[in-house]
Amino acid sequence: MPRVVIFLDLDDTILQTTLKCPPDEPLAPAAFNRAGEALSFMTRAQQRLLTFWLEQGMVIPVTGRTDDALARVAIAFNSWRITHHGAVIRQPDGSLPTWWFTRIRPVLAAAQPFLWGASARLSAGATAGGYRVSNHSVDQWLTYVSVKANDGGATLTRLAAQLQQTGLPAELALHCNGNNLALTVRGAQKQDAVRQVIVELQRAGPIVTIGAGDSLTDLPFMRACDFALTPKDSQIQTETWSMGLDPSRPNTLLREERTPSKGFVRTPAPSREEDGEA
């Protein structure tokens, strides 16, 4: 029988801060700061789903957290681990696979000037902009630059828009969701890591893969899996699922068509009856 492998984003997928938890619901501490204080929690539904997955399959974290931050998550991961937004891939014994040094490290090395330059520019405006900049690395290689603010996401949304307007080097990618913004390295992202780990796991036999995430930037790694899952009210759900609905025809989806002169035009897609799926 094929093994079930769940590639699981963590923050805002299987755990979150109390502000993002439903009110008046029992919560279980799930992640802690360096002082041992609980920062993130799981709802009952998240606990039940995770327990089921851990009992029935192999759960592999796919997270923007560093290795140290992942170690402060109260989940017993015992297989592969993908951290640093995909730039770091660790085998079950905690070591980097040999192919990481020949495939991933050169990509990171080539992106170092761009990451350090972006970090310097962001840091120069951090005080006036009301945000904090952190650099994250493995060994001597910078893996990504993170930016955080405490105003519910307004500051980082504006900052992301500025970065998109001025343009990023082709080597870098932008992640922005709520109070988290990160500049990552193309070719060393979550989807690249998940695809490689799938290849490694398939050497031992067939697998069925599930990708679970909440951010738009999780979609590429989720698409690398056989099935995809996203939480209710996640960024994926709120910013993509509702975009395809025609309010005048509740059971009809909108599709985009390209015309030579007008670019994309949104037109009703065939209903289920017209598709023969009713």
Domain boundaries, the chain: 3-97+190-233, 99-185, 247-275
Residue 262: pLDDT above 50?
no
CB-CB contact of 223 with 19 (8 Å) = no
pTM for the model stands at: 0.85
pLDDT (0 to 100) of residue 249: 54
Residues 134-157 pLDDT 10s: 999 998 899 999 999 988 789 999
CATH architecture of 3-97+190-233: 3-Layer(aba) Sandwich (3.40)
pLDDT (0 to 100) of residue 15: 96
Give exposure, 122-134, as e/b (b: 16+ Cβ within 10 Å). Answer: bbeeeeebebebe
User: Do the domains spanning 3-97+190-233 and 99-185 agree at the CATH topology level?
Assistant: no
Residues 222-239 pLDDT 10s: 999 999 999 999 999 998
Residues 31-61 pLDDT 10s: 999 999 999 999 999 999 999 999 999 999 9
CATH architecture of 99-185: 2-Layer Sandwich (3.30)
Kindly report the number of other CB atoms within 10 A of residue 160's CB atom.
Answer: 17
